Amino acid sequence: MTARTTGHRPGAARLRRRLAGTAVAVAAALGLAACANPVPEPTPDAVPAVPPPALTVAQSTDVLDQVGTVLAAGDEALDASGLGARLVGPALAIRSAEYVRATATNGERPPVVIPTTAQTTITPDTTSWPRTQMVVTTQPDDLQAPLLLVLMQDGPRDPYRLWSWARLGPSVQMPPTATPEEGSEPVAADDGTSLLLSPTEAMAQYADVLTNGDASAAAATFPADFFRTAITEARNQTAASLQAVATVAETVSPEAGAVTALRTADGGAIVVGQLTTVTTVTLSQGSITLNDPFDAALAGKGSVSSNLVRTWTDVVAMYVPPAGGAQQVTVLAAEHARTAVTGE
């Protein structure tokens, strides 16, 4: 019995020593773990109190430079085939027609000078597309009025393209907008809650005023302006020059969906839209010789004996005040360009 008991003592001692050694190893490991540097964890960038605009001033400058490069190439060759890379909408239609005019007049009536240097930049504050930015250019070299450019981006992988330009009216002051660093809120085309008129309604009512003058139901909302005066005078002059042989009728209508708007500092909006003017000359006798080589080039003929239809692509920019504020809309800029002629 004694020998059997003594025979088990060495094994128990070894077990105790093994457990003690294990405990020391575990303690050492825990000590090392406590002293080791923690594994770094990624930390997201802080969210700015005010989100940045969708387009910085530097990016806007790059866009204008790229538009200018495409315009310069097209203007030099009077070739519209490459304009689609950076022009769209009324800008593309008007510039293409200007190349026809310049060619037909042997360069005597060149394309409109479009500066691509900004004196005012209005950037969009949005996370969705399409996106619109507006630019008031420096004064052109021909000393015409500065232009209001509208540039649009259809999607995140599309470039900004020049959608329109329009000349600022005499003595026009652009309404204050947010700084380019803050960005200006896009305004929905059907927003008739925050504005005196929705952008779509404003363009439709102004088209009616251009067509019907003071007889328009909307005449009180749109006081006399430089563009309305010019359109009316040109219409009257055409009618007077042809009264012996023809009648002249003219209608102005808004292009569906061709309107965009950005918020102004006072809660109103700068609204830019496309209109189409159609001037129809109906002959009662004789024929009309198309003395303007531009008309002849667009029509593909030198005279008509039944009717002559001129189509103009118009761009109008206006300030629409916020709801509850001023009760009149101010026209800021406009462009009126012949883009098609037909006749029989």
Q: For the segment 98-139, what is each residue's pLDDT rounded down to a tens digit?
A: 999 999 999 999 999 999 999 999 999 999 999 999 999 998
Rounded to whole angstroms, the Cα distance separating 64 from 104 reads 29
Q: Using an 8 Å Cβ cutoff, are 314 and 336 in contact?
A: yes
Per-residue exposure over 33-54, b if at least 16 CB sit within 10 Å of its own CB, e if not = eeeeeeeeeeeeeeeeeeeebb
| pLDDT tens digits along 47-94 | 444 555 677 889 999 999 999 999 999 999 999 999 999 999 999 999
Using alpha carbons, select from 289, 298, 288 the residue that is nearest to residue 103: 298
Average pLDDT, stretch 277-302?
96
pLDDT attached to residue 52: 57
Flag whether pLDDT at 16 surpasses 80.
no
The residue with greater pLDDT, 240 or 18, is 240
**pTM, two decimal places:** 0.84
Neighbours of 316 (CB within 10 A): 28
pLDDT at residue number 143: 74
Q: According to the model, what pLDDT value does residue 55 have? A: 79
225 Cβ contact list (under 8 Å, min separation 6): 169, 330, 331
Higher pLDDT pick, 204 / 27: 204
Per residue in 172-204, pLDDT (tens digit) is: 999 999 999 999 999 999 999 999 999 999 999
**pLDDT of res. 25:** 41
Give residue-wise pLDDT tens across range 151-175: 999 999 999 999 999 999 999 999 9
